Amino acid sequence: MILFPILLIAVLFIVNVSKQENVFSRFFFSLYWGMSSLVTSVYLILLKVDDFQLIHLFRLKNFSQNIYCYFIYIMVSVAIFLIVYILNKKELYTQHQTLKTIDKIFVGIFTFCSWIALLCILSANWAMNHFQGISINQIIFTLTQPVEGTDQSQIDSYIFGPLMQSLFFIFILIFIFYGINRLTKLKKGITVFEFIRFKKLLMSVLSVVILIFGFFISINEIGYAEVKSYFFEKSGLYEKAYINPEKVKLIFPEKKRNLIYIFMESMETTYISKDLGGAQKENLLPNLTNRIQSGEAINFSNTDTIGGALPIRLTGFTVGGMVAQSAGVPVRTSLDNNTLDNNSNYQNLKQFLPGAYSIGDILEMNGYQNLLLLGSDANFGGRKTYFQQHGNYQILDYNYAIENKWIPSDYHVWWGYEDKKLFENAKNVVTQAASSDKPFNLTMLTADTHFEDGYMSAETPKLYDTQYSNVIHYSDQLVNEFINWVQQQPFYENTTIVISGDHLSMDKDYFNDISDKYQRTVFNEIINSPVQAENAKNRQFTTFDLYPTTLAALGVEIEGNRLGTNLFSGTKTVPERLGYQNFEDEVTKKSDYYDQKIAKDN
């Protein structure tokens, strides 16, 4: 498909319709119109083809789509050639009469500023619609991360969304400038631009105004209040309510219990039926909820039915959710964080939240072997750095699976490899860990239920009308089968299993029919805990509180029941004392304590 724009570049260069004597000028002139042909063609194709990807620039599998795309590419390339040829016809215009170089520079600056402004507006709109419930923290975090380990569909969505749209509209703008320049020449070859007084000043002012306009429209898409709070307001929450885990006295039982902690991607209480506390007509998590109803598992709830942890914007993405539950603090991205190598790239951090003290740190200090098992690239979002620096976890990720021949070297689906394989691998990993004389902590992260619509493998039962519902239901089945297997093993008696969503789902349309009055919460359940909760219902808590709660589920005695708050105790959580909304607002704000004592090495 990309062949036609390339042919257009070659034809324009060879024919030299612009009559440029300089080879470089002729090349860039041809290159611009060839790229414009590509952008325009792809933009028109996107109006018909919904699942367009980068690879489709070279080939399409669907024959009817091929015919349509070929037609668009050919017609656009021919149309652009004819327009450029007519506008540069020698009989109509003398060649030496054109815009001055300095004028071209200012027009170029104006065009570039217009493109940046438009890209900001379209990107903000795309982000807020593509990722449901996204926060400014997550936007900054994502922008400062490399694309390594990212699901390709997310990259394609951005390229063929706001990026391609902005390029198309800027091409139209440039085309208008070019057409005016060519069509308004007077007999002496003077263009209308020559009659504009102070045009350099005008272009400069317009460039600045457009940039500012684009910036404020982008901020409006995200929300002025959130941006203002995140960047400009300070909180004293940490000084008042945060307790340094290193200073808390912890007493482990004589026989230390094993821990299997399963982070289930985007798993929330919304997926269960309304009569049980969810928002669905049918229960998509029958196995997990059956364990709760039978009393086999403990569910900490915000209601008197099955519920979960109240969401916090700063923990609404995977690494943010994992850090919150394992260290009791958020991942707050700072553009001026001095722990970075002159950037905010959490993959290349010298230290990942060096002031945090996680459950991995605690368990390592108490003789545990820590393992992190996931079917994606652990480098993404700095997960590898965090878990290695906080607990010296052995990283068993997608790359490890290839290196150890768990999967073929060219195997890649979704984010790496699917959850069915993940749980099969988990059986081997946990069997080997249990054979050691050390207690183990196996932390897992699933991926099939990631937005958009999840990964539906050939084994996924098709019981519902929507793909996401089928994927969620199958995820419940897979984790249930794994738990059943664990319960048959000799080490189970001394093993606690924690199941929790990492954050709420960001699927853009799955929750459209759910009432705004329904409070979506992060799902949780704890199996085989040696302690019972004083009150597990009608609690106002967040995933920060799962940190001490998990330790308590291992039989650990926590002085004051605080790190967040141990939910097995009757101690009030911080949201219960301050109010949930007030707590979230305060967590979102800047904090000197966080910046100096958690984000940096103190």
- For residue 38, give the amino acid letter: L
Do the Cβ atoms of 363 and 326 come closer than 8 Å?
no
Produce one character per residue of 442-459: b if its CB has 16 or more CB atoms within 10 Å, e if not: bbbbbbbbbbbbbbbeee
Q: Kindly state the average pLDDT of the residues 358-379.
A: 96
What is the radius of gyration, based on Cα positions, of the chain? 29
Helix, strand or coil, per DSSP, at residue 369: strand
Top CATH class of 233-298+309-598 equals alpha beta
The confidence score (pLDDT) of residue 108 equals 76
For the segment 564-578, what is each residue's pLDDT rounded down to a tens digit?
Answer: 799 999 899 999 999
Report how far apart the first and last C-alpha atoms of the chain are (Å, whole number).
56
Q: Kindly state the average pLDDT of the residues 375-379.
A: 93
Give the tokens for residue 67.
């015919």
- For residue 489, pLDDT beyond 90: yes
- Spatial CB neighbours of 267, under 8 Å, sequence gap ≥ 6: 449, 472, 475, 499, 500, 501, 502, 522, 523
pLDDT band at 198 (very low <50, low <70, confident <90, very high): low
The confidence score (pLDDT) of residue 228 equals 78
The confidence score (pLDDT) of residue 95 equals 45
pLDDT band at 151 (very low <50, low <70, confident <90, very high): low
**Residue among 173, 174, 191 at smallest CA distance from 182:** 191
The confidence score (pLDDT) of residue 37 equals 75
Which residues share a beta bridge with 250? 558
For the segment 442-470, what is each residue's pLDDT rounded down to a tens digit?
Answer: 999 999 999 889 999 999 999 999 999 99
The confidence score (pLDDT) of residue 77 equals 73
Pairing state between β 308-309 and 250-251: unpaired
CB atoms within 10 A of CB 152: 14
Helix, strand or coil, per DSSP, at residue 546: helix
- For residue 544, pLDDT beyond 90: yes
Distances (CA, A) of 40 to 2, 11, 51, 162: 12, 18, 17, 14
Do the Cβ atoms of 559 and 347 come closer than 8 Å?
no
Tokens 């929450």 -> residue: 237
How far apart (Å, rounded) are the C-alpha atoms in residues 590 and 569? 30
Q: Which of 150-159, 571-580, 589-598 has the lowest mean pLDDT?
A: 150-159
Residues of the chain with CATH 3.40.720.10: 233-298+309-598
Pairing state between β 394-396 and 369-374: parallel
pLDDT band at 192 (very low <50, low <70, confident <90, very high): low
- For residue 409, pLDDT beyond 90: yes
- For residue 184, pLDDT beyond 80: no
**Residue among 38, 44, 42 at smallest CA distance from 6:** 38
Q: Which of 209-223, 499-513, 539-553 has the lowest mean pLDDT?
A: 209-223
Give the tokens for residue 23.
């080879």
Q: Kindly state the average pLDDT of the residues 33-38.
A: 74
- For residue 113, pLDDT beyond 80: yes
- For residue 423, pLDDT beyond 60: yes
- For residue 202, pLDDT beyond 80: no
Of 188 and 15, the one with more pLDDT: 15
What is the DSSP track for 444-500?
A: EE--TTPTTT----TTS---SSSHHHHHHHHHHHHHHHHHHHHHTSTTGGGEEEEEE
The confidence score (pLDDT) of residue 16 equals 64
The confidence score (pLDDT) of residue 92 equals 46
Of 545 and 121, the one with more pLDDT: 545
- % of the chain at pLDDT higher than 90: 48
- Spatial CB neighbours of 220, under 8 Å, sequence gap ≥ 6: none
The confidence score (pLDDT) of residue 207 equals 81
For the segment 76-112, what is each residue's pLDDT rounded down to a tens digit?
Answer: 777 777 777 666 665 444 444 455 666 667 777 877 8
The confidence score (pLDDT) of residue 364 equals 97
Of 24 and 344, the one with more pLDDT: 24
Tokens 């200073």 -> residue: 247
For the segment 248-265, what is each residue's pLDDT rounded down to a tens digit?
Answer: 999 999 999 999 999 999
The confidence score (pLDDT) of residue 39 equals 74
For the segment 48-60, what is each residue's pLDDT rounded down to a tens digit?
Answer: 665 555 555 555 4
- For residue 195, pLDDT beyond 60: no
- For residue 446, give the amino acid letter: T
Q: Residue 315 has what DSSP assignment?
A: G
Phi, psi of 254 (to 5 degrees): -60, -45
Enumerate the H helices of 160-303 as residue ranges.
Answer: 164-183, 199-222, 224-232, 237-241, 286-293
Phi, psi of 153 (to 5 degrees): -65, -30
Q: Residue 412 has what DSSP assignment?
A: -
Helix, strand or coil, per DSSP, at residue 263: strand
- For residue 144, pLDDT beyond 50: yes
Of 579 and 22, the one with more pLDDT: 579
